[in-house]
Structure 1
Amino acid sequence: MGNDSQIAPTSKFEQTLRASAQMPGVRIDRNAFLRSELKRFCTDDQILRAIATTPAEAGVPLKVIDQIANSVIKYETGKVTTVSAAAGIPGGFAAFGTVPADIAQYYGHLLRVVQKLVYIYSWPDLFDDAEDAIDTATESMLTLFIGVMFGVNAAQAGVAQVSALIAKQVSKKLPQQALTKGSIYPIVKKVATVLGVQMTKQIFATGAAKIVPLIGAAVSGGLTFATFYPMSKRLQKHLSTLPLTKPIIVRDPQ
């Protein structure tokens, strides 16, 4: 226990992020997700264009995107609350490496809702391959998105900067340089430190809830619902205001 408390908050958060990203079912296939969600609202041609470019560039109305985002948040909140209640029972989950399993589960669900929201709000694919270890640029971007969910102001500024950089590119990809050693990387490190401190508090809160069996399960599930839903809505609200949701219309000069 003494050694664990010596781990820097930044490292603690990064460990959790990597462990959660490797869990089964956490990574979302962008193409399959967009196809599944857009089929109720769009033509086949529009869906193909949304996958090849972005939903915004395919002309999917923001009202439809917001509707899909709301249903995604409700679905993922329901799932994580059920899992959290099970994890709140002592022995419900074993430890996941150096990260408590219920914390890894919680962050796994955060990553699921993050991916779904960013894909519907016209961000590029975050994972090149479902099997690969998480790369530095993706880790940095996920840190910023989760930072927005936790209300870290620096994270909002970082996400807005990355959005502007992607919007300027012809080929829509994460800006590797800026996220790994450029202008945005110091922001990522700052956000990771804040999140590491927040996570330590969260582990204590859920750990304390588990001391009383069954009541602990209800408290754990309730805590999860009370945090997960508003955090997801905060990210949704921020994403909906960014340049990527409003592709520039190039008009012919008169």
Structure 2
Amino acid sequence: MAKSRASENPESRFSAVLVSVASLPGVRIDRETYLRSALTRYCSEDEVRVAIEETPAAAGIPLDILDKAADAAITYETSKAGALSAAAGVPGIFALPLTVPGDMAQYMGHMLRIAQKLAYLYSWPDLLSTSSEDLDDATKGVLTLFVGVMFGTQSANKAVGQISALMAEQVARKLPQKALTQGVVYPVVKKVAAYLGVEMTKQTFAKSVSKAIPVVGAVVSGGLTLATSRPMAKRLKKHLSGLELANPARRVVDEDVHGSTVGHTEPSPA
């Protein structure tokens, strides 16, 4: 009975999907590999090195460069998600029990891939490490908030801003565990997860309807995925790029182990 009640809880439902999808092959983005491939075409080798060892903000990489890389990531991920969704719509209504859960999983998977890429470009720390299968509560919390931002929830926007400000103030390279699991942000995470659990159920129904007619369903489903996922990704990009954590003028002198200066940026005068 308890298990049944948990499965009906929207918050628990979303959290379970998040953990399951995060463990799927290809969902986790290696931060170093991605930053190198995304920034090499725009930045010097030294800038790329500092971006990987520290953050793109610490490397002093301008926001317009990061925005270009972010737009490329969004175009790639949303186009791929739309194509896979269309392919899942071909079998028609008789295959719905198989295609809908798989389609939702790949949709969420691409959302998590976009969230990671945008986070790394805008100076957030490693989220889904490829070296560990574990997903700690702080990481689940921040990913929940990122998806919440994609869905346009103002409480998620505010919470992400709070976390960013805290990390920028402390020049931290890790997520603030206490704030995300015990502090004032934690209740917001739970509230956003519950909201997303309800929205996920609505989307599952919408996708079921779009897939009811073969071929036509493929076109509708692929178009629906593309039409919804791209604005959502753009929403997250806009929010993350405007946070203090992404500001290349945030970091002051940062010295390496040999004492040589690797970057010098100061807040711009008013």
Q: TM-score, normalised by structure 1?
A: 0.91
Runs of 4 or more above 2 Å deviation: 3-6, 89-95, 127-131, 247-251
Cα separation, partners in 2 of 1:46 and 1:5, compared to 1, 3 Å: closer
Q: Is the aligned partner of 1:224 residue 2:225?
A: yes
Letter in 2 for 1:248: R
Render the CA deviation track for 1:23-50: whole Å, top value 9, x for unaligned: 1100000001001111111111111101
Q: Is the aligned partner of 1:176 residue 2:180?
A: no
Letter in 2 for 1:190: K
Contact preservation (8 Å) 1:93, 1:101: no
Letter in 1 for 2:196: L
Q: Mapping of 1:69-84 within 5 angstroms?
A: 69-84=70-85
Letter in 1 for 2:213: V
Q: Which residue of 1 aligns with 2:241?
A: 240
Q: Which residue of 2 aligns with 1:14?
A: 15
Shift of 1:128: 3.6
Letter in 2 for 1:230: P
Q: Which residue of 2 aligns with 1:102?
A: 103
Q: Mapping of 1:26-105 within 5 angstroms?
A: 26-90=27-91, 91=95, 94=98, 100-105=101-106
Q: Which residue of 1 aligns with 2:150?
A: 149
Shift of 1:153: 0.6
Shift of 1:131: 3.8
Q: Which residue of 1 aligns with 2:122?
A: 121
In 1: Cα distance, 2:203 partner to 2:97 partner = 17
User: Structure 1 stretch 82-91 or stretch 8-17: which is displaced more?
Assistant: 82-91
Render the CA deviation track for 1:212-238: whole Å, top value 9, x for unaligned: 111111111011011000000000010
User: Structure 1 stretch 161-170 or stretch 219-228: which is displaced more?
Assistant: 161-170
Contact preservation (8 Å) 2:22, 2:109: yes
Cα separation, partners in 2 of 1:78 and 1:30, compared to 1, 3 Å: same
Cα separation, partners in 2 of 1:171 and 1:22, compared to 1, 3 Å: same
In 1: Cα distance, 2:6 partner to 2:209 partner = 17
Cα separation, partners in 2 of 1:67 and 1:223, compared to 1, 3 Å: same
Shift of 1:93: 8.4
Q: TM-score, normalised by structure 2?
A: 0.86
Q: Which residue of 1 aligns with 2:211?
A: 210
Contact preservation (8 Å) 2:57, 2:251: no
Structure 1: 5+ residue runs without aligned partners? none
Render the CA deviation track for 1:133-165: whole Å, top value 9, x for unaligned: 311111100000000000011000010001011
Letter in 2 for 1:195: L
In 2: Cα distance, 1:240 partner to 1:193 partner = 26
Percent sequence identity is: 53
Cα separation, partners in 2 of 1:138 and 1:249, compared to 1, 3 Å: closer
In 1: Cα distance, 2:21 partner to 2:133 partner = 13
Task: State the number of aligned residues.
Answer: 246
